[in-house]
Amino acid sequence: MLSTTKGGIPIDVRLSPDEWARELRDEAVAGLSSTPKELAPTWFYDDRGSELFEDITRLAEYYPTRAERAILAARAHDIAVASQADTLVELGAGTSQKTRILLDAMQEVGRLERFVPFDVAEPTLRATAEAIAEEYPTLDVHAVVGDFRRHLHAIPTEGRRMIAFLGGTIGNLRPNERAGLLGELASTMQPGDSLLLGTDLVKNRGRLVAAYDDATGVTAEFNKNVLRVLNRELGANFDLDGFEHVAIFDDENEWIEMRLRSRADQTVEVPVLGLTLRFSRGEDLRTEISAKFRLERVRAELAAAGLEMTNWWTDPAGDYALSLAFRP
C-alpha cells in the first residue's frame, strides 16, 4: 500500500498493522512452543522498544554505536567516493542519526539524489522520513515499512544504490539466516550497487557481556519489552518481575545471547494463541543473539552471496568494522 506522510513523502507500507499482528502470532506460536523457548528480536521494536534502544546506544557500556559513528565520521567521504552511489538505502533505519553523516558526505561529493529508509516500525519511520526531508530539501525521500526478512524486494531500485545495513544488526541472524538474507539482498542489487555492512568484532568477553547487561538496567528493560508486546498484542499475562535479564557469551558460536530467565515455576496464558506456557525456575526464554565477527568470516559470507568486498574500515580500537562490498 502506497501512502504519504503528513509532509507528502511517499511511504510504501508492506507490513500493515494486520500483517504485523499475523506475523507476530505465527512467530510467537512457533517460538514459544519450541524447546528451548525463543522469540525473534524483531518484536522488541514497538515505539517503546525503539525508544529504549536509542537509550541503549548512549550507554557507557554500549560501545558499538560510538565505534560505528567514529568510523563514519572518519571515513564517510571515502565511503561516498568508493561507492559512487547516488542513492542511499538504509535497512533498519530507526531515527537515522548516524546516517546523516553518510548523507552529508554523499552530498559533498555531488552525487546524492535519493534516500530510502526501510524499517519495521511505521510511526518511527514516518517521523524519520519527514525529518530527513526537512533537513535535505532537495533530496528525494521514499520510505518503506517492512521486515527485511520478507520485504527486500519492495525496496526501490532507482539509481546507483548503496544499501547500508548498520548497527551490527546482521549479527542477530544465525549463519544460515545470514546466508539467506545476504543472498536475497544480492539478488535485488544491480551491477555497481554496493552494501555497506556494520559488524561488531570479536573481543574481550567481559566487554561484550557488559555491552548487553548495563549497570543501569536499560538493556534489561529493553529485553523485557518483548513481554510487554506479547501482553498487549496477544493478551498474555507475563509477569515482568517474574523474569530476569541474562546476557552470556557463547564461545563456540562467538555470539552474545540475551535471555529472560524465569525466577520461579510459573504458568503464563496467551489467550490469542490458545497457549498455556509452563516455565520452570531457571528456565530461559531466548530473545536475541548478536554474533561477533572476524574479517575472514565477513569476507567469506559476502563472497558466498555473490558480493565482492573491496573496503574494510575499523575504529582505532579495532572494536567494530564497516565493510563495502559490490555486486559485480
pLDDT of residue 171: 97
Identity of residue 308: E
Supply the pLDDT for residue 94: 83
Q: Over 80: is that where the pLDDT of 3 sits? A: no
Q: What ranges make up the beta strands (E) of the chain?
A: 2-4, 10-13, 37-38, 87-91, 114-119, 140-141, 143-145, 161-165, 194-200, 243-250, 255-262, 266-270, 275-279, 284-291, 308-314, 320-326
Q: Give the tens place of pLDDT for each residue, 274-315.
A: 999 999 999 999 999 999 999 999 999 999 999 999 999 999
Q: How many CA atoms lie within 13 A of 251 on its CB side?
A: 3
What average pLDDT does the structure give for the chain?
A: 95
Model-level pTM?
A: 0.93
Say what the pLDDT of residue 5 is.
66
Binned at pLDDT 50, 70 and 90, residue 46 comes out as confident
What does the alpha-carbon distance between residue 78 and residue 227 come to, in Å, rounded to a whole number?
A: 42
Output the nine-digit C-alpha cell for 125: 519511520
CA distance 166 to 90: 8
CA–CA separation, 14 and 156 (whole Å) = 12
Instruction: Specify the pLDDT at position 7.
Output: 75
Q: Given a cut of 90, is residue 1 above it in pLDDT? A: no
pLDDT tens digit string along 103-117? 999 999 999 999 999
* Domains in the chain with CATH codes: 2-13+59-204+294-326 (3.40.50.150)
CB-based contact 93:99 (threshold 8 Å): yes
- How high is the pLDDT of residue 292? 98
The candidate with the shortest Cα–Cα distance to 31, out of 20, 43, 40, 18, is 40
